[in-house]
Structure 1
Amino acid sequence: MVDCSGDYGNNGCSGGLMDYAFQYIIDNGGIDGDDDYAYQGVDAECWSNATSRVVATIDSFADVASGDEEQLSIAILQQPVSVAIEALDASFQSYSSGVYDDASCGDNLDHGVLVVGLTDDAYIVKNSWGETWGDAGYIQMKRGMNICGIGIQPSYPVSKKGDPVPVPDPTPGPQPGPQPNECGCSADSVQMCGAFGMMCCCGANGDTTCMATDTCCCR
């Protein structure tokens, strides 16, 4: 998705919209699976051989009314829902457990995540920064306060019921992966920084930090 939906208005690791991604999947006749064409957290040329290895299809997509958390909750009870949030807030990035309810997290939407369920007071959200982030890769976000702009731009794919798509044989040929990371940047760190169009860099004390790609001295 990161590599191949640029013609639809998306910008790889620099961001995009879920609806653009859904339209790409529709026009492509489906999408390959993560086991075959895994998310790497870096921009790369579209691997065209894999794009035709379809493991899932959708027929259309739907948008939830912006700002209507009641409708968002109804949609989540039917299927997972893609949402855009502000994720640059330090308290969000350092989340580890419990219900996240920091009202200072704004609505400057810069990151896409997946709401997979509900509790009485929180959305259960799956992030894309690996299992070492948050609560095994997930975060619970407070309902009813449009936290981090979660209710502004929700959408979800729609597919007709029917037999599952047959899974084809693996795509031949090696898939290029990211370059080895120096300076202590883990794969999760590279992935998180890449989500903001940044690079994982060495900090002054040997730690790591996210920096713009034109200012990072090493990676």
Structure 2
Amino acid sequence: MTRGAVITAQAVESALLKAGKARRWGAHLSVQQILDYDERAFGCEGGSAPTSFSYVHKAGLTAESIYPYQNRQNSRLTRKKQFPVLARISNYCVRGRIHMPVYARDYLTDEDIERELVAHGPLYALIHGEGHLLQNYKSGIIDDEACSKITNHACLIVGYDEEAFILQNSWGRYWGENGYFRVAKGKNVCGYLTEIAYALP
């Protein structure tokens, strides 16, 4: 229900930890805070990279233990008015052709993804998440170019090898390869080159 917000919080955590920032927030940062205060967190989509990262940049995040997940959005029952800010980012970057003007479109490559992973850690990414390929995934490398490149699902790109990129999904550790899946390089399978985002500590 809240995959965009979940992936944003995870990407921010990873960037801060990679930069050696003290983990003042305990186990996790608050997903519910993003859902309640990012006014463009669209229902089950959980927001988009530009709006959710922009909110975190402006406001910072508190801990999940302080502002726990309630599976609600913009609700008077969940919105807290006062909470300590325990994590901040100096800026963020969103790359991809869907948010760039026509004259400056950013067409990502596999090499771009690899460089950004090494430099910044796990990356927020959009893919096509509907249909049988992802829903029924058990293991192995997804290598089906028939998978639509119309993106509608946020995931976290966490690594790569010679053949594939490794992504973390938000469907729990019993799905796929302990919550992860792999997509073949070189073919933009399921649109993984459409958009990436990352936090700058």
Give the corresponding residue for 2:36.
4
Q: Computing the radius of gyration over CA atoms, which structure comes out larger, 1 or 2?
A: 1
Matched, 1:63 2:94: yes
Paired residue total: 157
Contact 2:143 2:184 in 1 (8 A): yes
One-letter code aligned to 1:18: A
Contact 2:66 2:83 in 1 (8 A): no
Q: Tell me how large the CA RMSD over aligned residues is.
A: 2.2
Give the corresponding residue for 1:76.
117
Deviation at 1:41, TM superposition (A): 4.9
Higher relative contact order (CA 8 A, sep 6+): 2
Q: Given the alignment, which residue of 18, 42, 45 partners 2:75?
A: 45
One-letter code aligned to 2:43: G
One-letter code aligned to 2:116: A
Contact 1:26 1:58 in 2 (8 A): yes
The structure carrying a bigger helix percent of its residues is 2
Contact 1:83 1:154 in 2 (8 A): yes
Map Cα deviations across residues 10-56 of structure 1 (whole Å, 9 max, x no partner): 3132443112101111111x112344444455535163438733332
Structure 1 residues 45 and 77, CA gap change in structure 2 (3 angstroms): same
Matched, 1:25 2:66: no
Aligned equivalents of 1:24, 1:60: Cα separation in 2: 11
Give the corresponding residue for 1:131.
173
Deviation at 1:120, TM superposition (A): 1.2
Contact 1:32 1:50 in 2 (8 A): no
SS at match of 2:195: coil
Q: Percent of aligned pairs with the same residue?
A: 27
Structure 2 unmatched ranges of 5 or more: 1-30, 96-105
Give the corresponding residue for 2:155.
113
Give the corresponding residue for 2:18.
none
One-letter code aligned to 1:77: V
Q: Given the alignment, which residue of 143, 156, 159 partners 2:198?
A: 156
Instruction: Give the stretch that moved more between structures: 97-106 or 50-59.
Output: 50-59
Aligned equivalents of 2:79, 2:72: Cα separation in 1: 17
Give the corresponding residue for 1:200.
none
Map Cα deviations across residues 73-112 of structure 1 (whole Å, 9 max, x no partner): 1101221110011000211111111112121111111111
One-letter code aligned to 2:143: D
Contact 1:84 1:154 in 2 (8 A): yes
